[in-house]
Structure 1
């Protein structure tokens, strides 16, 4: 078997990314068009993981505009179930942070019950020797009209 390799996302990843996210509950699915934009407009701030020639992992993110401290916001982290438990998600995040040396903070949102994501970002913060703070950001009733669980803003940093 081939090793997992990381690369920049490309526009042709859109449909395969859409299928990957569908397989990665509890992630919110987007349209293929949105995934095409993630793979093209955010290619410099995303990571694709290939295994045996297939897209098996993906990190989507962007640099938050108009911030005094450069901040990388991670939209989604997806790893196919075949590769879970091998540290691929954390390796993708480290890989991208190495390519974004100007970034001082990493942010993401996580629902309270997504324990896998909480563990991932807690371990990442520990690896980076940086504090992790969280606070309620998008409330179930106010922002989602009871159609989605509340999202907590997670902030790691400052990064050195």
Structure 2
């Protein structure tokens, strides 16, 4: 059953009661892990340097760091600035396996003022976990995160 993403967006907007990007990103990760079924990792990778993603706030097992734009699903999302939805991560030749239990992945780029700020990465132990409806819903939650956070003034990039 697909979660009620419009309700989740309203709840996330109420939860993000500060403009601080660090607090909001930590809260967003915790919220996603709590509210979305079948996730084993939810977190942000941030662009601190050209063509490189650095680990940001997350929930889940220890993660890979850093991730070059040239590798993995997160790198592809950063490089193309397009959401990457992967039904079977083991079918992706350059997948970066931080958690061997992960089977599906959804990565949404976060672009502010035409600059890549980072990506939101969601992993699931269930193959084919993310549908088109999930992708649209998560993209809407990322839009809520962007709207509620002062990303343009952060020290990222």
Same fold (TM over 0.5): no
User: 1 or 2 for the larger relative contact order (CA 8 Å, sep ≥6)?
Assistant: 2
Which TM-score applies when normalising by structure 2? Answer: 0.30
Which TM-score applies when normalising by structure 1? Answer: 0.30
Query: Which protein is bigger by CA-based radius of gyration?
Result: 1
